[in-house]
């Protein structure tokens, strides 16, 4: 699972001010915005807008905007997400989202308001071996910094891509985060029963590669590491439902990836993790007795261990969706995997892991607000996490406090998980798909839910158009309220429900 720390500064300009700074220039007449296609063509169009947007924002001459993602609303509004560079150096914490309609900027959300004007980007006399020079502006006055990436393997066999940022002048460590996002897990066997798979035929052989979903494929690591080998089969019948056939875990991984793709496509209109129609790679049978699973941006892939005694692969639907959702977060908000932003990153994966499971509507693994309930991670038959009352796992937070940023991201995620459950279903006792829930509130006041269908779209819109790399819980509240206003209006019951659900987890 995935990314690091900070806080966000949100700048939502008034409509009048924004209109005067339209990306066409103050003296130019607004022109109609042509509909943007998804993927690379949309990014190319955003790149063409970058120069005029930079001028409208008053960026210094050495600053450039590099497009990362584009979201287009039905009303013609485009949300351009940009990273920023200064004299060719990437600005960590320089990302921003610009909303544009009919040739005019209507909203801007920045990871940092700090000015980069006048910052000396000359390389220090002493360089760090293997390090890359960047500008660091995350919850910090902008400084020149070195970014180093250390690759290693942890004691539990999890690969590590540790990013460390140090002040190029003082040597102070500014930030560290691991680029490999790890899910906690153990497993059982196959979780989804007999399922249909979309495969690719090559001559007389079938490949576990899905041509209907961006050619996302499943490789067999055969209890090793690396890239592995694509699963193939002679009769297009895969696995036997037990760990004795290695293709069984491949079936679960392929099915989970397909259900995740379908969820994002059908519910949110997103075509693959990067919204470019390209599928991600899944790799199963990693390591020896590896009780975990993880997503990595560097290989654009999910990797699954076989669990204790190599008998219980970690390939349930919600785990697959959780891992792929780390990729979605990386491609959009880029929530740094540390502190409160890391908790929001983890929660995003839990939220969409749960909603994907509901959307899949598989009778063998019905939708619920439990995370990892099928994989029996602790060997006691209990889920990994509970969204209705996160503290039921003994570690996760039910509500926000000033120390939330110091808690492991897998447990500070409980605040947003609890918020999402309350927004969807409300407080108190309820039974859904045979599972009993009883969700409390911080202020002991009731919450009335608006339904999962509305809640998931509010969270997705906030993630893709409001959140930035440095978003903390207070800014997440602001972002989801803005998303609710976009979708339902600022005076709507949905907007009020978002406000109430955050209050119920002590985020105000």
Which structure tokens are listed for 291?
A: 């009780």
Establish whether 323 is a catalytic residue. Answer: yes
* Strand residues in 179-279 grouped as ranges (E): 180-184, 200-202, 205-207, 209-210, 216-224, 229-230, 232-233
Helix (H) or strand (E) holding 319: helix 317-331
* CA-based nearest residue to 497, from 437, 423, 441, 390: 423
Query: Biggest alpha carbon distance in the chain?
Result: 70
C-alpha 165/C-alpha 407 separation (Å) is 21
* Strand residues in 338-422 grouped as ranges (E): 370-371, 385-386
Q: The tokens 């990067």 sit on which residue?
A: 274
C-alpha 293/C-alpha 276 separation (Å) is 25
Residue 406's SS3 state is helix
* CA-based nearest residue to 483, from 268, 264, 314: 268
Which is it for the CA torsion 283, 468, 4, 402, positive or negative?
A: negative
Contact 256, 319 (CB under 8 A): yes
C-alpha 265/C-alpha 369 separation (Å) is 21
Q: How far is CA 57 from CA 63, 64, 213, in A?
A: 11, 11, 38
* Strand residues in 59-123 grouped as ranges (E): 63-72, 78-86, 89-92, 96-101, 104-110
In this structure, the number of other CB atoms found within 10 A of the CB of residue 171 comes to 9
C-alpha 430/C-alpha 75 separation (Å) is 37
Residue 432 φ/ψ, nearest 5 degrees: -130, 125
Contact 350, 387 (CB under 8 A): yes
Which entry of 147, 184, 323, 357 is annotated as an active-site residue? 323
β-strands 205-207, 232-233: how paired? Answer: antiparallel
Percent of the chain as helix, strand, coil, to the nearest 5: 30, 25, 45
Which entry of 410, 418, 425, 494 is annotated as an active-site residue? 410
**Which residues, listed in sequence order, are joined to residue 86 by a DSSP beta bridge?**
63, 89
CA 121 distance to own-chain centroid: 31
Q: How far is CA 218 from CA 58, 84, 144, 232, 308, in A?
A: 47, 35, 41, 10, 21
Establish whether 410 is a catalytic residue. Answer: yes
Which structure tokens are listed for 262?
A: 């379908």
Rg of the chain (C-alpha set) = 23
Q: Tell me which residues are annotated as active site.
A: 323, 410
């Amino acid at each position: 699972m995935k990314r690091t720390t900070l806080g966000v500064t949100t700048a939502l300009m008034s409509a009048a001010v924004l209109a005067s700074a339209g990306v066409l220039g103050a003296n130019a007449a607004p022109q109609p915005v042509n509909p943007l296609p998804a993927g690379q063509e949309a990014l190319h169009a955003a790149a063409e807008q970058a120069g005029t947007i930079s001028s409208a924002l008053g960026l210094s001459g050495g600053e450039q905007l590099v497009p990362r993602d584009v979201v287009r609303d039905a009303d013609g509004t485009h949300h351009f997400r940009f990273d920023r560079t200064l004299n060719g150096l990437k600005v960590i914490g320089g990302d921003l989202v610009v909303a544009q309609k009919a040739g005019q900027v209507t909203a801007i959300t920045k990871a940092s308001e700090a000015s980069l004007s006048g910052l000396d980007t000359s390389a220090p006399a002493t360089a760090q071996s293997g390090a890359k020079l960047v500008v660091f502006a995350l919850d910090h006055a902008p400084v020149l910094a070195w970014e180093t990436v250390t690759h290693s393997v942890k004691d539990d066999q999890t690969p590590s891509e540790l990013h460390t940022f140090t002040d190029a002048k003082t040597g102070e460590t500014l930030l560290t985060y691991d680029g490999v996002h790890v899910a906690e897990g153990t497993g059982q066997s196959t979780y989804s029963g007999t399922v249909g798979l979309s495969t690719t035929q090559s001559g007389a052989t079938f490949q576990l590669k899905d041509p209907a979903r961006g050619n996302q494929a499943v490789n067999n690591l055969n209890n090793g590491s690396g890239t592995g080998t694509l699963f193939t089969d002679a009769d297009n019948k895969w696995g036997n439902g037990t760990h004795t056939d290695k293709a069984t875990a491949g079936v679960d991984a392929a099915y989970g990836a397909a259900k995740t793709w379908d969820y994002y496509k059908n519910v949110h209109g997103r075509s693959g993790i990067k919204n470019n129609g390209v599928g991600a790679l899944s790799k199963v049978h990693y390591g020896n007795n590896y009780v975990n699973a993880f997503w990595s941006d560097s290989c654009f892939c999910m990797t699954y261990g076989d669990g204790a005694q190599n008998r219980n692969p970690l390939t349930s639907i919600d785990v697959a969706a959780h891992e792929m959702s780390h990729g979605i977060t990386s491609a959009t908000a880029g929530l740094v995997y540390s502190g409160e932003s890391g908790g929001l990153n983890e929660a995003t994966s839990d939220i969409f892991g749960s909603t994907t499971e509901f959307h899949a509507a598989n009778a063998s693994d019905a939708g619920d607000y439990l995370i990892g309930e099928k994989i029996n991670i602790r060997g006691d038959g209990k889920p990994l996490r509970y969204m209705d009352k996160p503290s039921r796992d003994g570690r996760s937070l039910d509500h926000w406090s000033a120390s939330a940023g110091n808690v492991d991201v897998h447990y500070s995620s409980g605040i947003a998980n609890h918020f999402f459950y309350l927004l969807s279903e409300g407080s108190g006792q309820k039974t859904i798909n045979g599972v009993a829930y009883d969700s409390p509130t911080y202020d002991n006041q009731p919450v009335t839910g608006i339904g999962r269908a509305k809640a998931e779209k509010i969270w997705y819109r906030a993630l893709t158009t409001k959140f930035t790399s440095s978003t903390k819980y207070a800014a997440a509240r602001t972002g989801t309220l803005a998303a609710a206003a976009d979708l339902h209006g600022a005076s709507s019951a949905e907007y009020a429900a978002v406000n109430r659900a955050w209050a119920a987890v002590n985020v105000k």
